[in-house]
Chain A
Amino acid sequence: MFAGHFGLAAAVKSREVQIPLWALMLSTQLLDVLFVPLYLMHIETIDPIGNGGYGLGVIHANYTHSLIGALVIAVCAGLLAWRPWGRRGMLVIAAVVFSHWLLDLLVHRADLPILPGNLGNLPLLGFGLWAFPVVSIVLEGALIAVGAVLYITSAWSRSGASSPRQRSNHTSAIIAGVVISLLLVLSLVTDVLGVG
């Protein structure tokens, strides 16, 4: 899942206007961002299934995507967010970082460990929606749609509703909101086509 995480970030932004959108978007993808250097060092790996397209892979991200690992990363990210965005920002960023693991739990095949490094060989988790690509694409599309609608509504109100002179601000906000929504759709397209 790639685009669905961004959809969630847009939805959260509509309610938590004090936190910049870039911080929320980065937070939703933080586990995957941290996965990249570990992947390059062959510490975490992907076993492709077939041609390795959308959702076709067993991901051995035993540190970044373990339940406890994700919780630790979420707490660390939350602490970093404390200073710039206060206590509420800390809680929101930590929750958004951990939301990545919860959404991945829905789509991943059973490859998410509980403890880092799959310590103790406990059962691996994952409800496996990726085995039904149409269902997971619809789920991601729904997350994007909800996020986009909430975000555009919030952008409209943030642009200043009181003065008629600020009508141009409204137009700019709507344009920005629509462009951001199109970028979210593009992120789903790139994921499904295997470009990302």
Chain B
Amino acid sequence: MNFIIFTLLFVVLCGWLDSRIGRKSSQQQMEEEK
């Protein structure tokens, strides 16, 4: 049942990449605070 492994792999990878979008780096946050 490779299906479930592939599903979880795609869900985790894509979900993690998507969660990075729009997130500010610590350097950008520091610059904004200044």
A residues in contact (CB < 8 Å) with B: 2, 6, 13, 20-23, 25-26, 29, 32-33, 36, 39-40, 155, 158-160, 165-166, 168-169, 172-173, 176-177, 179-180, 183-184, 186-187, 190, 195-196
Q: Known: A187-B6, A196-B3. Contact between A20 and B13, CB under 8 A?
A: no
Contact of A20 among B4, B19, B22 (CB under 8 A): B19
Cβ–Cβ contact A2 & B3, under 8 A: yes
Query: Hey, what's the 0/1 contact readout for B1-34 against A, CB within 8 Å counting as 1?
Result: 1111011001111111111111011001001000
With both beta carbons as reference points, the residue of chain B lying nearest to A26 in the complex is identified as B11
Cβ–Cβ contact A21 & B3, under 8 A: no
Cβ–Cβ contact A32 & B14, under 8 A: no
Chain B residues near A22: list those with CB within 8 A.
11-12, 14-16, 18
Chain B residues near A168: list those with CB within 8 A.
25
Nearest-neighbour CB distance to chain A for B6, whole angstroms, equals 4
Chain B residues near A190: list those with CB within 8 A.
2, 6
Q: Known: A160-B22, A173-B21. Contact between A187 and B10, CB under 8 A?
A: yes
Cβ–Cβ contact B4 & A21, under 8 A: no
Chain A residues near B2: list those with CB within 8 A.
190, 195-196
CA distance A169 to B4 in the complex (A): 33
Cβ–Cβ contact B22 & A173, under 8 A: yes
With both beta carbons as reference points, the residue of chain A lying nearest to B2 in the complex is identified as A196
Q: Is the interface of B mostly helix, strand, loop or mixed?
A: helix
Chain B residues near A29: list those with CB within 8 A.
7, 11
Using A36-B4, A169-B28, A186-B10 as known contacts, list a sample of 19 further A-B pairs with CB atoms less than 8 Å apart, ordered by residue number in A: A2-B3, A2-B6, A2-B7, A6-B14, A13-B18, A20-B18, A23-B15, A25-B10, A25-B11, A26-B7, A33-B7, A169-B22, A172-B20, A173-B21, A176-B18, A177-B21, A183-B10, A183-B14, A196-B2
Contact of A176 among B3, B6, B20, B24 (CB under 8 A): B20
CA distance A134 to B25 in the complex (A): 44
Nearest-neighbour CB distance to chain A for B24, whole angstroms, equals 7
